[in-house]
Every structure is written in structure tokens, then in C-alpha cells.
Structure 1
Amino acid sequence: MDISNSSNISGAFASGLQGVQRGNEQVTQASSDIANLTSASAQGSSTGVNLSDSVVELKTGALGVEASAKVLSVANDTLGTLLDTFA
């Protein structure tokens, strides 16, 4: 196996993992904003957080995680194919 193929595969794994982590952070932050908004609303105060924006961020983060998981899946399949070919 050529070293450049190995580097490309590991780069795909790294990008996929980084995307999952970023999406997870985005989902966590949006969830926290929504929870704080709900809590503040129950107490009659305002947090300055927009519910619509937080819901959009939540969905965007979830879609980012899904896309990154697909990158990881394709990289895994590609690595398996390379191993089968060269083994």
C-alpha cells in the first residue's frame, strides 16, 4: 500500500471524527440554550436566547454528526477494501 493512500485514509478518519466532535458540541450547546430558555421562561425572566435559532442549531449539529458519521463509514469501507486488495 502506498503511504499517500494511508495518509489520505487517516486524514478522512481524522476529519470524520473532528466533525462528529464539533456536531456534538453544537448539539450540546443548543440543548443547553433551549433548557435554559425553558427554565427562564418558567421563572418569568428572559435569557436573550432565541428558541428558533437554538432549534436550528440543534438540527444543524445533528445533521453535521450524521454527515461526519458517513465520512467515517466510507473511510472504514475504503480501508477494508484496500486491506482485502493488498492482503
Structure 2
Amino acid sequence: MNIQSAFSAGLQGYQRSADSVTEASLNISRQNINTLANQSSAGAEGNLDQFVDASKKSATSNLIQLQQAELHAQANVHSIKTADDMLGTLIDIRV
């Protein structure tokens, strides 16, 4: 096994996880802004219940995406740590 490729794969996976967190966070922020804008424009009238239900679904899927990204990041950190440990062991054996 090539240790450098294990490091690279771990780092790439971690970067993808960070990108996923950023995307989900931005989506949640946009939903909150849209919710506030629609509530202020709808006032007491309008069919706000449908909008709130749709917003909850989207918020839920984005929160799930955040949780998945966290788990992926943890897995990638574990693979980076393992590659680091293997490299340390190889250096100790060769010295």
C-alpha cells in the first residue's frame, strides 16, 4: 500500500466533507433569510403554513447532510491518522 496515496485520499475526502458542510450551512442560511422575508411580506394573511412545511423539509435534509459530512470527516481523519501511524512505524523500522 502506498502511504502517500492514503494521505491524499484522506485529505481529499476531508476536503469534500468540508465542502459539504459549507454547502449545507449556506442552504440553511438562505432558507432562514427566505423564511423571514416571506413572513414579513405575507403578514398575517397568505398561506404561510405550506411555506413553513416546505422549509422544514429542506432544513431537515440539510441537517442530515451536515451529520453525514461530520461522519465522513471523522472517517477521513481516521484514515489520515492510520497512514501517519504506518509511516511512523516504517520510519522506526528503517532507522
TM range (shorter): 0.7 to 0.9
Unaligned stretches of 5+ residues in structure 1: none
The corresponding residue for 1:62 is 70
Give the TM-score normalised by structure 2: 0.78
The corresponding residue for 1:43 is 37
RCO comparison, higher one (Cα < 8 Å, 6+): 2
Distance 1:79 1:67 in 2: 18
Letter in 2 for 1:70: H
Give the TM-score normalised by structure 1: 0.85
Q: Please, which of 8, 12, 16 is the counterpart of residue 22 of structure 1?
A: 16
SS of equivalent residue, structure 1 residue 44: helix
Q: Please, which of 8, 11, 19 is the counterpart of residue 5 of structure 2?
A: 11
Unaligned stretches of 5+ residues in structure 2: 40-50
Percent identity among equivalent residues?
31
